[in-house]
């Protein structure tokens, strides 16, 4: 079932066309890889989908309760409420907060408080606080970092910080994740762990995942659909096998480095 529709989207920055007339449909449960050289517009496309950038042209619509709703030019917090979450190319955590508090901050928007209940610490407020605390611990357990809950996020290894960032995205209740180069800067062992982890959560939580990545082993091993961007333009889309043998893709990007293709 089609859940996200990107139609003729462009984003221009003072003369630079970062995304040029991109169209793409995403289906429920799909695992989509977005690849392309540096500067191809991949992150910009994510920023347009998640509300961080407005669109210069085009439409982005999301299936909400059976109807397609406009989400282009909608605020990031509103988009989070529609069940879309993301991680960043450069990990963004609250470094001076504990690991547990990093997860908890992602969960507050799911619980409504009036000023009154926050100020007077009503029963409802306390009940919600303890619920958030428990659920945040469950998410940490899920990513295998429960025993690190009380240390500062900045003290975790790179691979652990990435898992916290993903746990935080999941803790928002999102069903659709956008991961921007999750394996960047990781060694082989960390990358292998990450591949297994992402594969597990995709299945377990029935997620739709869109991933930008340079590590071809990761892209080809996880994704069932790949989109290639080059200078803002979608130059190809298809299965890993189709992409691997597409001459214009090879010319633009892939070269000799693709192997381990998923059937």
Ligand X SMILES: Nc1ncnc2c1ncn2[C@@H]1O[C@H](COP(=O)(O)OP(=O)(O)O)[C@@H](O)[C@H]1O
Using CB under 5 A as the criterion, which residues of the chain lie in contact with Mg ion when the complex forms?
43, 89
Least distance from ligand X to the Cβ atom of residue 120, Å = 43
> In this complex, which beta carbon is closest to Mg ion, that of residue 55 or of residue 143?
55
Residue with tokens 């139609």: 7
> In this complex, which beta carbon is closest to ligand X, that of residue 142 or of residue 181?
181
> In this complex, which beta carbon is closest to ligand X, that of residue 43 or of residue 50?
43
Least distance from ligand X to the Cβ atom of residue 39, Å = 4
Residues near 162 by Cβ (< 8 Å), separated by ≥ 6? 87, 91, 182, 186, 194
Pairing of strands 176-180, 67-70: unpaired
Judge contact between 247 and 206, C-beta under 8 A.
Answer: no
Binding mask 30-69 for ligand X (x = CB under 6 A): ------x-xxxxxxx-------------------------
Least distance from Mg ion to the Cβ atom of residue 42, Å = 5
46 vs 210: CA distance, rounded Å: 9
Judge contact between 64 and 242, C-beta under 8 A.
Answer: no
36 vs 232: CA distance, rounded Å: 9
Judge contact between 5 and 25, C-beta under 8 A.
Answer: yes
Task: Kindly state whether residue 13 participates in binding ligand X, applying the rule CB under 6 A.
Answer: yes
Candidates 16, 138, 151, 251; binder of ligand X (CB under 6 A) is 16
Of 11-19, 163-171, 190-198, 255-263, which part binds ligand X (CB under 6 A)?
Answer: 11-19
Q: Please report, as ranges, the residues that interact with ligand X according to CB under 6 A.
A: 13, 16, 18, 36, 38-44
């Amino acid at each position: 079932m089609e859940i996200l529709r990107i139609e003729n989207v462009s984003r221009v920055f003072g003369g630079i066309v970062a995304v040029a007339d991109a169209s793409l449909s995403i289906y429920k449960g799909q695992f989509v890889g977005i690849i392309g050289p540096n500067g191809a517009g991949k992150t910009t496309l994510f920023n347009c989908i998640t509300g961080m950038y407005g669109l210069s042209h085009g439409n982005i619509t999301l299936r909400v309760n059976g109807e397609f709703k406009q989400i282009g030019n909608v605020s990031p917090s509103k988009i989070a409420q529609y069940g879309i979450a993301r991680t960043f190319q450069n990990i963004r955590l609250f470094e001076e907060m504990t690991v547990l508090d990093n997860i908890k901050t992602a969960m507050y928007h799911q619980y409504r408080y009036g000023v009154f209940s926050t100020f007077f610490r009503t029963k409802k407020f306390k009940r919600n606080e303890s619920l958030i605390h428990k659920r945040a611990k469950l998410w940490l357990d899920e990513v295998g970092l429960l025993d690190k809950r009380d240390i500062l996020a900045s003290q975790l290894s790179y691979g652990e910080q990435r898992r916290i960032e993903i746990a935080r995205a999941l803790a928002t209740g999102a069903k659709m994740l956008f991961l921007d180069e999750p394996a960047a800067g990781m060694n082989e062992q960390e990358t292998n762990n990450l591949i297994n982890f992402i594969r597990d959560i995709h299945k377990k939580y029935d997620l739709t995942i869109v991933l930008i990545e340079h590590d071809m082993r990761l892209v080809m091993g996880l994704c069932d659909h790949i989109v290639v961007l080059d200078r803002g333009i979608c130059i190809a889309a298809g299965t890993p096998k189709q992409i691997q043998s597409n001459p214009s893709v090879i010319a633009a990007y892939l070269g000799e480095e693709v192997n381990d293709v998923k059937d």
